[in-house]
Amino acid sequence: MQKVFTNQYKRHDIFSCNHSAHHRFGGAVSTYYILEEKRCYPEGCINFVWRCRLLNKGHACPKKYTHVGKKCFSCKQFYEDKYIQQPRLLVSPQDFQNYLREKEDFDHWISQHEGRSVQIDARVTGIKPDLVAYIHRGRRNFRPDGWILVFDKVYINYDLFDDAAFAWISIKAQEKLAFSAGQRFEARARFTFQRGRLIFRRLHNIEITEQGESPAPDLNEILVAAETATEFPVQPDKCIGCPEGILVEKGIPQNIRNAPRRSLVCLRGQNNPADCIRHLEPLLKSTK
């Protein structure tokens, strides 16, 4: 009997948090972050933010540091601010108990497949480069680490995962297979569930069952466009789903605290997500 599952760790309707790190998302926070990463419900969490009396007032640091780090601990200008935050439950206690039961079933299903080879059947809804951003000589650069295939649902053995899932492939594999949006395929893959995301690795025995509706993306064109891409402090759903909106891992030194590790860049160079109508272009064309 086929079972249908959705990702119980990427729900944003259960908790809200007023921590400053979540302000750019309007306080929205995933259940994975609260229950698995921070484990801060219901006790809350204590955070210490490093401060500098000189930098706070716009003065220069005598050692020419531009941010507060571990090397500042012995400085008399260094101090910490203590913050206590507690996630807020957005649903009723009964609905929260129902959610925990659904999560338990989902966890059991994950444990049955984690690390194992499974048969998948999926349609590619998007393909984006796996980019890492780093600063070299004052200039932002991007390094491609592979490609990410995006699915809005995927059949796994006899079950349906009716939610966003991903598959990582190497640059060489993409050069050979030329995956594109709309393409449907079957394959064997290693099932992994990492940081609340279902992502398949080591794809093999790949059989293309339907061809794509557009050509495969060009990595060189994307890297050129990334040079002038705009970076957003927020990650709107319409940008995540847009082929020109790419989540980029940041190569941030570990001694910098409270810095976002991922950002969203727009290859189209749109300055404000609210002004972009790219997601409406197919609809506008169909009405002509």
Domain with residue 265: its CATH number is 2.40.50
Cα 150 to Cα 116, 124, 278, distances in angstroms: 20, 6, 19
Domain count, the chain: 2
Give me the pLDDT at residue 259, please.
Answer: 47
Share of residues in the chain with pLDDT > 70 (%): 86
Which residues have CB under 8 Å from 10's CB, separation 6+? 30, 31, 32, 163, 164, 196, 197
Give me the pLDDT at residue 236, please.
Answer: 66
Which residues have CB under 8 Å from 175's CB, separation 6+? none
Determine phi and psi for 152, rounding to 5 degrees. Answer: -90, -15
The structure's pTM equals 0.74
Residue 110 domain flag: no
Residue 10 domain flag: yes
Q: Look at 11-15, 83-87, 114-118, 218-222 and tell me which has the smallest mean pLDDT.
A: 83-87
Give me the pLDDT at residue 280, please.
Answer: 55
Averaged pLDDT, 207-222: 87
Residue 76 domain flag: yes
pLDDT beyond 50 at 255: no
pLDDT beyond 80 at 283: no
Do 155 and 65 have their domain in common?
no
The confidence band for 39, taking pLDDT boundaries of 50, 70 and 90, is confident
Do 167 and 72 have their domain in common?
no
Average pLDDT of the chain, as a whole number: 83
Do 194 and 94 have their domain in common?
no
Residue 165 domain flag: yes
Averaged pLDDT, 216-234: 80
Identify the domain boundary among 105, 137, 157.
105
Do 148 and 266 have their domain in common?
yes
Do 68 and 133 have their domain in common?
no
pLDDT beyond 90 at 122: yes
Do 68 and 183 have their domain in common?
no
Give me the pLDDT at residue 237, please.
Answer: 65
pLDDT for 179-206, tens place per residue? 999 999 999 999 999 888 899 999 999 9
Domain of residue 38: give its range.
4-105
